[in-house]
Structure 1
Amino acid sequence: MSDWLRGAVIYQIYPRSFRDSDGDGIGDLRGAIEKLDHIAALGCDAIWLSPFFTSPMKDYGYDVADYCGVDPLFGTLADADALIARAHELGLKVIIDQVWSHSSDQHAWFSESRASRDNPRADWYVWADAKPDGSPPNNWQAMFGGCAWTWDARRRQYYLHNFLPEQPDLNVRHPAVQDALLDVARFWLERGVDGFRLDVVNFFVQDAALRDNPAITTLKRAPARPHQFQRHLYDRTQPETLQFIARLRKLLDEYGAISVGEIEDEEPLKVQRDYTDGPERLHTAYSFFLLRQRALTAAVTQEALSQWQGARGWPSWSLSNHDVIRFPTRLADNDPQRTKLMLMLLLALRGAAFLYQGDELGLPHADVPFERLRDPEAIAFWPSGIGRDGARTPMPWLKDAPMAGFTKAADAWLPLDPRHVALAADAQEADSDSMLHFTRRAIAARKQSAVLRGGDVALREDGPLLILERTHGDERVLCMFNLSPDRARTALPKPAKSTLLQLGETAIEAAQVSLGGHSGLIVAI
Structure 2
Amino acid sequence: MSPLRLCMAVCTVALLLPAVTAKYAALDWWQTSIIYQIYPRSFKDVNGDGIGDLKVSQLSCFGGSAWEWNDKRQQYYYHAFAIQQPDLNYRFQAVVDEMKNVLRYWVEKGVDGFRMDAVPFIFEADHFEDEPIADNHADFEPSDHDFLNHTLTVDQPETFDMIYQFRELLDSYKLLDGYTRLIMTECYSPLEKMMKYFGNETKNGAHFPFNFLPIERLSRQSNARDFAGAILTWETLKPAGKWGNWVIGNHDQKRAASRFDAEFIDALHMITLLLPGTAITYNGDELGMEDSFIRWDQTVDPQAINVGPKRYQSFSRDFARSPFHWDASPNAGFTTNLYSWLPVNPNYWYKNLATERNQMGPDGRPAGHQCKCSRSWVWRIHLSDGTRRETPQAINVGPKRYQSFSRDFARSPFHWDASPNAGCHIVVMNIGSEIEYADILTIRPTLPEQLVVYAASANSMHEPGHTVNTDKIMLKPKEALTLSTVELGIVDRHIKVGDAFDPKTMMGGSRNYRLGGIVNGAAKKEEKGEDKTDKAEEKGEKKLLSRGRYAWEDDDWDDDDEKEEDNEVY
Superposition TM-score, scaled by structure 1 size: 0.71
Q: 1:352/1:263 Cα in 2 relative to 1: closer, same or farther (>3 Å)? A: same
Which residue in the other structure is 1:495 paired with?
Answer: 447
Which of 178, 194, 202 is the aligned partner of 1:272?
194
What SS does the corresponding residue of 2:377 show, helix, strand or coil? Answer: helix
Over 3 Å counting, the alpha-carbon distance change for 1:435 and 1:12 in structure 2 is farther
CA distance in structure 1 between the partners assigned to 2:439 and 2:138 by the alignment: 41
Deviates more, 1:419-428 or 1:174-183: 419-428
Which residue of structure 2 aligns with residue 181 of structure 1? 99
* Contact 2:245–2:278 (CA under 8 A) maintained in structure 1: yes
The DSSP-based 3-state class of the residue aligned with 2:139 is coil
Q: 1:361 to 1:371 in 2, by over 3 A?
A: same
- 1:350-388 residue CA offsets vs partner (Å, 9 max, x unmatched): 321111111121111011111111221122234343322
Residue 390 of structure 1 is matched in structure 2 by 319
Q: 1:224 to 1:339 in 2, by over 3 A?
A: farther
Q: What is the CA-CA distance between 1:455 and the residue it aligns to?
A: 3.1
For residues 163 and 448 of structure 1, what CA distance do their matches in structure 2 show?
42
In structure 2, distance between residues paired with 1:429 and 1:446: 18
Q: Indicate whether 1:17 and 2:42 are aligned.
A: yes
Pair 1:287–1:455, CA change in 2 (3 A): closer
Q: 1:319 aligns with which of 235, 241, 248?
A: 248
Greater shift, 226-235 or 455-464, is seen at 455-464
The whole-number CA distance in structure 1 between the counterparts of 2:294 and 2:152 is 36
CA distance in 1 between counterparts of 2:470 and 2:431 reads 23
Partner amino acid for 1:274?
A: K
Answer whether contact 1:466 1:482 (CA < 8 A) is retained: no
- Counterpart CA distance in 1 for 2:279 and 2:129 is 37
How far is the alpha carbon of 1:302 from its aligned partner? 1.6
- 1:209-257: CA deviations, max 9, x gaps? 2333222224563369622122221111111112221221112112321
C-alpha distance in 2, partners of 1:218/1:191? 47
Q: For residue 172 of structure 1, what is the aligned residue in structure 2? A: 90
Aligned to 1:120: none
Q: Counterpart in 2 of 1:5? A: 30
**Shift in alpha-carbon separation, 1:259–1:518, aligned structure 2, 3 A:** same
Letter in 2 for 1:350: P
Q: What secondary structure is seen at the aligned counterpart in 1 of 2:372?
A: coil
The counterpart of 1:481, out of the listed 429, 432, 436, is 429
Q: Which residue of 1 aligns with 2:233?
A: 306
Partner residue in 2 for 1:437 = 376
- Structure 2: how far apart are the matches of 1:319 and 1:20? 25
Residue 197 to residue 358, structure 1, CA distance change in 2 (3 Å) = same
- Sort the Cα spacing of 1:290 and 1:301 in 2 relative to 1 into closer, same or farther, 3 A: same
Q: Structure 2: which amino acid aligns with 1:171?
A: N
CA distance in 1, matches of 2:136, 2:301: 31
Partner-residue secondary structure (3-state), 1:447? coil
What letter corresponds to residue 398 of structure 2 in structure 1?
A: D
CA distance in structure 2 between the partners assigned to 1:466 and 1:442 by the alignment:
26
Q: Is the 8 A contact 2:65 2:143 kept in 1?
A: no
**Residue aligning to 2:556:** none
Displacement of 1:204 in angstroms is 0.9
Is 1:471 the counterpart of 2:397 in the alignment? no
The residue type equivalent to 2:483 in the other structure is V
CA separation in 1, counterparts of 2:112 and 2:289?
29
Assess if the C-alpha contact under 8 Å between 2:266 and 2:375 holds in 1.
no
* 1:411 equivalent in structure 2: 339
User: Retained in 2: the 8 A contact 1:206–1:234?
Assistant: yes
Structure 2 SS opposite 1:231? coil
Identify the match of residue 232 of structure 1 among 150, 153, 177: 150
- The structural deviation recorded for 1:262 is 0.4
Q: 1:345: how far off? A: 2.1
Residue 461 of structure 1: CA displacement?
3.0
Cα distance change on mapping 1:20 and 1:4 into 2, 3 Å: same
Distance 1:384 1:318 in 2: 23
Q: Distance in 2 between matches of 1:386 and 1:450?
A: 43
Listed one character per residue, the Cα deviations across residues 156-214 of structure 1 (whole Å, up to 9, x for unaligned) are 44321111222111112222111100100100100100010001112111112233322
Does the 8 Å CA contact 1:441/1:501 hold for their aligned counterparts? no
1:116-152 C-alpha deviation (Å, 9 max, x unpaired): xxxxxxxxxxxxxxxxxxxxxxxxxx82011212233
**Paired residue secondary structure (1:158):** strand
Task: Between the two structures, name the one with larger relative contact order (CA 8 Å, sep ≥ 6).
Answer: 2
Could you tell me which amino acid in structure 2 is paired with residue 226 of structure 1? D
1:146 maps to 2:64 = yes
Is the deviation greater in 495-504 or in 18-27?
A: 495-504
* Structure with the larger strand share: 1
Q: What is the aligned-residue identity percentage? A: 28
CA distance in 1, matches of 2:387, 2:182: 24
Looking at structure 2, the residues matched to 522 and 347 of structure 1 have their Cα atoms a distance apart, in angstroms, of 11
1:509 paired residue number: 469
Name the SS for the 1:454 alignment partner: coil
Q: Which stretch of structure 1 is more off in the superposition, 250-259 or 485-494?
A: 485-494
User: Are 2:240 and 1:286 aligned?
Assistant: no
Aligned counterparts of 2:41 and 2:140: Cα–Cα separation in 1: 35
Paired residue secondary structure (1:24): coil
Q: For 1:422 and 1:505, how far apart are their aligned partners in 2? A: 20
CA distance in 2, matches of 1:157, 1:291: 40
Deviations 1:5-32 (A, max 9, x none): 224311122222222222222223xxxx
The aligned residue for residue 537 of structure 2 is none
Give the structure 2 partner of residue 101 of structure 1: none
Kindly state the Cα deviation for residue 508 of structure 1 after the two structures are TM-superposed.
4.0
Cα deviation 1:453-505 (Å, max 9, x = unaligned): 43323333345334232221365433332211230424342225754333335
Structure 2: which 5+ runs fail to align?
1-25, 174-179, 360-370, 486-570
Instruction: Output the CA distance in 2 between the equivalents of 1:225 and 1:429.
Output: 47
CA contact (8 A) 1:6 1:453 kept: no
| Structure-2-length-normalised TM-score | 0.66
